[in-house]
Amino acid sequence: MSLKVGLVSLGCPKNLVDSENMLGFINASKYEITPHPEDADVIIINTCAFIESAKEESITTILQMAQYKQEKCKAIIVAGCMVERYAESLLEEIPEIDAVVGVNDWQKIIEVIEQLDLAVEKQAQIVCTNSEQLALYSSAMPRLLTTPKHFAYVKIAEGCDNACSYCIIPRIRGEYRSRDKADILKEVTSLVEKGVREVILIAQDVTRYGEDLYGKLTLPELLSDLNAIEELKWIRLMYLYPQSFTDELIETMANLPKVLKYIDIPLQHISNKVLADMNRQDSKESISCLIDKIRAKIPNVCIRTAFIVGFPGETEQDFLELCDFVETYNFDNVGIFTYSQEEDTVAAEMPNQVDDFVKQERYHQLMSIQAKISEFKNQTLETAEIEVVIEGFDLEDKTVALARSYREAPEIDGCVYVENASGYQVGDFLQVEVLQGFTYEIVAEPKVK
C-alpha cells in the first residue's frame, strides 16, 4: 500500500502555485495524493504569514491537522511563508510538527518525505530552509492543478523589490526575479492543451515583469505573445502596481481581445503623506492621472483596488481624503484592510500607531461607502449582455449556475448567478442577460438567441 499525502494550501494564489508544484512532485513520485486529511499518512500545510490574520489562520490549521496524528497521520510537514519567518518557534511550540520546508525549498518535498521515519512515534524534526538559491519554478517542473479545469494561475515572477514599509514579503520571498518569457509561453501552451481557457497572470508586482531579466518592462510583449495562442480565451492580470503601469501597457490591454478589461491595482492609500510613510512610489496626482487615462483608453474597464486604513500616523483628515477619493473615482471592487503591525517591518516601529478601535471604525465606514458604489455599478448592468464562464451550480437548485464574467476574479470578487442554466457544464462560456444587480452579486439568465 502506497503512502498517502494530503496538502492544505493557505494564502494567496502565488502560494497556491507553490502548492500545485509540490503536488506535481508528489504525483510524479511513488506516493499517492489524497484530498482527505483523515486518510493521509503525511499532511503538508503550505502557510501564509503576510498579516496577523493570515498567521493566525496558519497556526489554527496546523493545530487542526495535528489532531489527525491521533488517528492515521504519521507526520506533519509545514511549508511556506510561516516557516521562513518562524521556523524555530514553530518547531519548539508545536512539537507535532515533524518537518519544515521554506519558500525556496519546496522542490525538495519528496526528499523531505523520504527522510521521515514514520515508524517512530517521536522522530527528530527535519529542517529544510535557507536554500542558497532563490526558488523560481519552470514549465519543466511537474505541476498538479487544483483549480477547476478551465482556469489556472501562472506565476510570471517571484519576489519583490518595492520595499513598502508595512510589508514583509521581500524578506520572505527575496528579490524580484522574472521567469523567462519563452518558458511562460511553453507553460501556458501546455495548460491550454489540457483544457485551460483562462490564465491568470500573477506575481507580487506583475507590471514589473521583465525589467530585471531583459532590462525593460516586458509585460506588453508577453501579453501579445499569449494573445496569439489558439484556444486560449481569457487572459487576466492580477497585482498591477501603478508605478510601472505604462502607456504601452494601457494600449496593449485596450487592443488585445483576449486580455480582459479587468485591472487589479492595489493603491493602498491616497494621502500623499501616508503614501510617503508607506514608501510607495506614487502620489495622489499620479494615481488620479493614471486612473483617468485607463478609463479614457479602455471602455467598460473594471477596476479593483485595495486600501489600508489605520496606517501609523493616519489622521482623520487623511482618512476623509481617502473616503472622498473612493466616492469620486467609483471603483468596481475594493478590498479594505486594517493595518497589521508586522514585526521586522519599518512601519512597525513608527510612532503614532492607530488604535484598533479607530481602525475598525474606519474600516466599516469605508466599506459602507464602497458597498453603495458596488451596488450602483451592478445595477447599471441590468439588461446588459455579458459573457460568463460557469464555475459550479447551486447545491439546492441545480438549475442555477455560479459564474464569473470579465469583472470577477476567482475567490476575491462577487458572483454571477445564472438562472435556467440546465444543460450547461462547469467551464462552459455563454452569453447572459443581466436581470438584477446587487452589492456583491448579479442575477442573469442565458441570452435567448
For 385-446, give the CATH class: mainly beta
Stronger pLDDT, 231 or 51, i.e. the higher one = 231
Task: State the Cα–Cα distance between residues 42 and 90, nearest whole angstrom.
Answer: 18
Read off the pLDDT of each residue in 38-46 and give the average, rounded to a whole number.
96
Q: Check whether 120 has a pLDDT greater than 70.
A: no
Taking a C-beta distance cutoff of 8 angstroms, is the pair 323, 366 a contact? yes
Q: At 253, is the secondary structure helix, strand, or coil?
A: helix
CATH fourth-level superfamily of 151-379 = tm_1862 like domain (3.80.30.20)
On the 0-12 / 13-18 / 19+ scale of CB atoms within 10 A, 343 is exposed
201 vs 157: CA distance, rounded Å: 9
Tell me the pLDDT band of 195, cut-offs 50, 70 and 90: very high
pLDDT per residue as tens digits for the range 234-278: 999 999 999 999 999 999 999 999 999 999 999 999 999 999 999
| Interval 146-188: pLDDT, tens | 999 999 999 999 999 999 999 999 989 999 999 999 999 999 9
Task: Find residue 338's DSSP bridge partners.
Answer: 309
For residue 427, pLDDT beyond 90: yes
87-110 mean pLDDT: 93
Name the pLDDT band for 130 (thresholds 50, 70, 90).
low
pLDDT of residue 117: 73
Bridge partner list, 100: 78, 127
pTM over 0.75: yes
Domain definitions of the chain by residue range:
4-128, 151-379, 385-446
pLDDT, position 2: 83
Give 44-81 pLDDT, tens digit per residue: 999 999 889 999 999 999 999 999 998 899 999 999 99
User: What is the pLDDT confidence band of residue 121, given thresholds at 50, 70 and 90?
Assistant: low
Architecture category of domain 4-128 in CATH? 3-Layer(aba) Sandwich (3.40)
